[in-house]
Each structure stands twice: as C-alpha cells, then as structure tokens.
Amino acid sequence: MYDSDRPHPLLAQVPLTVSPFISLPTAVTLPYTYKSVASALPPSITVNPASAEDKARYVVSSTGGHAAHPDEILASYQSLEEHLHKTMADAKKAIADWEESVKQRDLAEKRRLAPGWLDREEKLLQPAPPSSSLHGEAASPSILDSSSKEQELQSTPAIAPRDEGEELDRAFGVDSLKATDVRNWVLKEFKSQLSIFDVLRPVPVSQLALTILNKSSLMNSAAEIFEN
C-alpha cells in the first residue's frame, strides 16, 4: 500500500529549487479609497420606516426570506401599475410622433414635386364663365375702342417665339459640330463632297438628298458605266 507520508526514494534525491516561471499567489494590496461592501441591504426608500415599524409584517414569502405587510404589497403593486401606464403612454406617444414625421415627410415630398398643389382648394383649372355685363359690352363694341385696338395691333410688332435650344446651339457652335458630323458621315457612306454650308442651309430634306446624289462620286461612276 502506498504511504503518503514517505516520499518516493527517487524524488527524495532531487533537491527543491525555486522555478522562475512559477509565481505563487500573493495578497492583493487594497487602495486607500477602498470601501467595504455592506453585509445587509439598505432599507427601501419607497416604504416609510415609521409606518412600517408600526405594522406587523406577517405575510411571508414562500422562500421565507422576505416578509411584508399587505399595505406594502398593495403599494408596490400600485407603483408597478403606474410605471406600466407611463411606459405605455410613452410608447404610444413615440409611435404617434413617428407617424406624424412620416406624414410630414410625404407632404414635403409632394410639395417639392408639385409646389402649391396641396395649398390650393381648386384642383382642376376651368375657364370662368363670361358674365352678362361682358356679353353686353361684346355685343355693342364702341367704334373708338375698335380703332384703338387696330392701332395697337399695327404698332405692336409680332414677336417670334424664342427657341432656347437654338440660341444655345448658336452660342456654343453646336450647329457647326453637327453639320461636320453629317458631312463626314455622307462622305463615308455616299462618297459625296458636301460642304458645311450645304448641310446648314434651310432647305427640305429631299433637296439635301438631291445635292448629296449630285455630288456623289458613286453616282458619277455609275453614270459612266451605263454610258459605256
């Protein structure tokens, strides 16, 4: 039987040495600001200690570690109910605020896409019916009014509608660039020596096509073949 009091004869011959790789556990040095933890819980702040001492705490929990008076239990239930009501009210308010923010975002997007549409009552523009007074004036026009209107029409020059695209093209020379592209394409496909002025002339497409055919080397070579 192994004797635990007597060491093994081989181990008894090995001298005991201190290993530098082993650190024995030591006591922790506590700081000066260390505060010991209380062994008991402090009294509850929701319960009045004066009234709690007067009432007998005869309701004991199943584990036997807590005893309370029925009034204390009711007070804790009421505080819990108030807390639940407050939490539900806060949640409903947060949901209402979120829905209102979504609605405001939608309105802002609609106002951005169609300014003034939501701020006006009339949604469909209709011509206003002429009144009876306007009919009477239109039925018997004055000679002076007609002459003054004719003079205004004669004195006012006719203003041609502005084409902003053409103005931009003329300002930046886009017409000449397009004409150069058309001339290069015609030269490549039809072997026709067109000038930029031929492309820029305000003529119908049919006349431009005839000009391309007349100046095309393909048509000239075809005519020579037919003549021969």
Would you state the pLDDT for residue 212? 78
CA dist., res. 68 & res. 87, Å (int): 27
CA dist., res. 19 & res. 189, Å (int): 97
Q: What are phi and psi of 216, to 5 degrees?
A: -85, 135
Measured between alpha carbons, how far is residue 120 from residues 6, 96, 103, 104, 125 in Å? 107, 27, 19, 18, 11
Would you state the pLDDT for residue 168? 44
Write out the DSSP string of 117-172.
STT-S--S--PPPPPHHHHHHHHS--HHHHHHHHHHHHHSPPPPPP-HHHHHHHHH
Q: pTM for the whole thing? A: 0.28
Q: Mean of the per-residue pLDDT values for the chain?
A: 72
Cβ neighbours for 125, distance < 8 A, ≥ 6 positions apart: none
Would you state the pLDDT for residue 90? 94
Look at residues 70, 48, 74, 50 and name the one whose alpha carbon lies nearest to residue 60.
70
Instruction: Give the rounded distance of the alpha carbon of 63 from its chain centre.
Output: 57
Instruction: Look at the chain and count its residues.
Output: 228
pLDDT tens track of the chain, all 228 residues?
Answer: 556 677 777 777 766 666 677 777 888 888 888 888 777 777 777 766 555 456 777 677 777 667 778 888 888 889 999 999 999 999 999 999 999 999 999 888 888 887 766 666 665 656 677 765 555 554 555 554 555 555 565 555 555 555 554 554 554 454 666 777 777 887 888 777 777 777 777 777 777 778 877 887 776 666 666 665
